[in-house]
């Protein structure tokens, strides 16, 4: 058996996805549903909501604040948080304890409280005198965005196709076409590369929760023939040597929070680029756009995608970095891995002239202060055209700036 090394020009690269019913993704979706409810009440709401789930139990906690109608809005969220959490679980399909959680019967605890005044004063521009009146970053940190020309969405192929498999499985489960599927699921795709070019799909792994009476052979055949192949055959990357590992333990009946505890923000690589491209470490879900962990990561993706769409490079990675309370990035970096068509210095200069990377500018450019976040919390935050940071509307501006 030939062994491929990532240090050579010929190698294997693997990425995973998890479905909306994965315990961590349940928590991400509840946190983002709470965020959306806050933004519905006040576009200037500041939210950092975390969710924890285990057997028959869901806890939410964190910080929220409102600029307008603060007491009324906080009272509304505290009153409705449980209803929101139960609705999210119901929409995912957690309607029975047999599936890992019963949306009607789980125990619920709410520990949301007001945001720290020290953090808030920097965000709203009431901190140090030199930044008065200017929206500062909600925290320090560095964020990365990535794009490449491997797929139509300008996403890395392994994570893109891993998401597609689980999206297809979810559709078939919810439509009743495969009625023995349960909500919890994971996938993994390994692709053989030559340089930056995907050559073939080497291995596909799918672990999907199921009803107990279904035979393993039926599970394996159905997942391969009705889910995996319809998604991956159009890519032209499957071949007779592609390996399939379906429910490798042989049984996946116990799932959801009953099978494994869930926590907001624990699937950051699934949420981004599947490990292809760096990650600053900050999670997204439950955070309003004043938190640059989220908004700057979206902006970095927006910039990187427009660089590749403009054919300035085949691959692009953008790093943005911030200091808490400071209303502009402390650094902007562009890496193109030797695929650039013009000099990196020209690309970086064009990026700085075309994109407003201040926290306020990001929110304005991408129209982030609105309730759009719950749909981001499963199947990846990137590579899906419905999100504003996936637009390629700055291609002409970048080309013009590069020409000078």
Q: Which residue numbers are catalytic?
A: 22, 24-25, 50, 63, 186, 252, 260-261, 266-267, 287, 291, 293
DSSP string, 355-387: ---SHHHHHHHHT-SSS--GGGGSS-SSS-TTS
Our separate counts of H helices and E strands in the chain read 12, 13
Q: 49 vs 41, 137, 270, 362, CA distance in Å?
A: 16, 18, 20, 21
Dist CA 61 CA 64 (whole Å): 10
Can you state the percent helix, strand and coil of the chain, rounding each to 5?
Answer: 40, 25, 35
Tokens 């965020």, residue?
Answer: 35
DSSP string, 160-219: HHHHHHHHHHHHHHHHTTTTTEEEEEEEEEEEEEETTEEEEEEEEEEEEEE-TTS-HHHH
CB atoms within 10 A of CB 222: 19
> Is the distance from CB of 376 to CB of 368 less than 8 angstroms?
no
Comparing CA positions, the residue from 19, 17, 38, 27 lying closest to residue 88 is 27
Q: What residues are paired with 64 via a beta bridge?
A: 47, 114
Dist CA 313 CA 398 (whole Å): 12
Q: Specify burial of residue 91 (Cβ count, 10 A radius: 0-12, 13-18, 19+).
A: middle
* DSSP strand pairing (57-65 vs 46-54): antiparallel
Say how far residue 358 (Cα) sits from the centre of its chain.
22
> Is the distance from CB of 295 to CB of 120 less than 8 angstroms?
no
């Amino acid at each position: 058996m030939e062994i491929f090394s990532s240090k050579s020009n010929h190698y294997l690269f693997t990425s995973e996805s998890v479905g909306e019913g994965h315990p961590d993704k349940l928590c991400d979706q509840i946190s983002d549903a709470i965020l959306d409810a806050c933004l519905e009440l006040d576009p200037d709401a500041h939210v950092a909501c975390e969710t924890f789930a285990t057997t028959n139990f869901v806890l939410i906690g964190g910080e929220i604040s409102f600029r307008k109608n603060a007491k009324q809005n906080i009272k509304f969220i505290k009153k409705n948080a449980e209803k929101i959490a139960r609705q999210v679980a119901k929409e995912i399909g957690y309607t029975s304890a047999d599936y890992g959680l019963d949306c009607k019967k789980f125990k619920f605890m709410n520990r949301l409280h007001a945001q720290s005044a020290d953090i808030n004063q920097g965000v709203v521009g009431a901190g140090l005198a030199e930044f008065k009146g200017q929206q500062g970053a909600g925290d320090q940190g560095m964020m990365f965005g990535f794009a490449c020309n491997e797929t139509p969405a300008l996403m890395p192929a392994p994570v893109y196709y891993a998401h597609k498999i689980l999206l297809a499985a979810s559709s078939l489960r919810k439509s009743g076409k495969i009625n023995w599927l349960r909500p919890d699921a994971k996938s993994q795709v390994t692709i053989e590369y030559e340089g930056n070019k995907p050559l073939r799909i080497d291995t596909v792994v799918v672990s999907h929760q199921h009803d107990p009476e279904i035979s393993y052979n039926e599970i394996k055949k159905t997942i391969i023939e009705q889910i995996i192949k319809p998604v991956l055959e159009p890519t032209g990357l499957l071949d007779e040597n592609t390996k399939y590992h379906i429910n490798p333990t042989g049984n996946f009946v116990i799932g959801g929070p009953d099978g494994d505890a869930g926590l907001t923000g624990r699937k950051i690589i699934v949420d981004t680029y599947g490990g292809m491209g760096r990650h600053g470490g900050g999670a997204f879900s439950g955070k309003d756009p004043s938190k640059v962990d989220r908004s700057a990561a979206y902006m970095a993706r927006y910039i990187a995608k427009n660089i590749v769409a403009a054919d300035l490079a085949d691959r692009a990675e953008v790093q943005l970095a911030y200091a808490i309370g400071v209303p502009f990035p402390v650094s902007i970096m562009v890496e193109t891995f030797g695929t650039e068509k013009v000099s990196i210095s020209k690309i970086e200069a064009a990026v700085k002239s075309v994109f407003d990377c201040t926290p306020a500018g990001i929110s304005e450019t991408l129209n982030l202060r609105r309730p759009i976040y719950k749909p981001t919390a499963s199947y990846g935050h990137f590579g899906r055209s419905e999100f504003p940071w996936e637009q390629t509307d700055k291609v002409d501006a970048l080309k013009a700036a590069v020409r000078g």
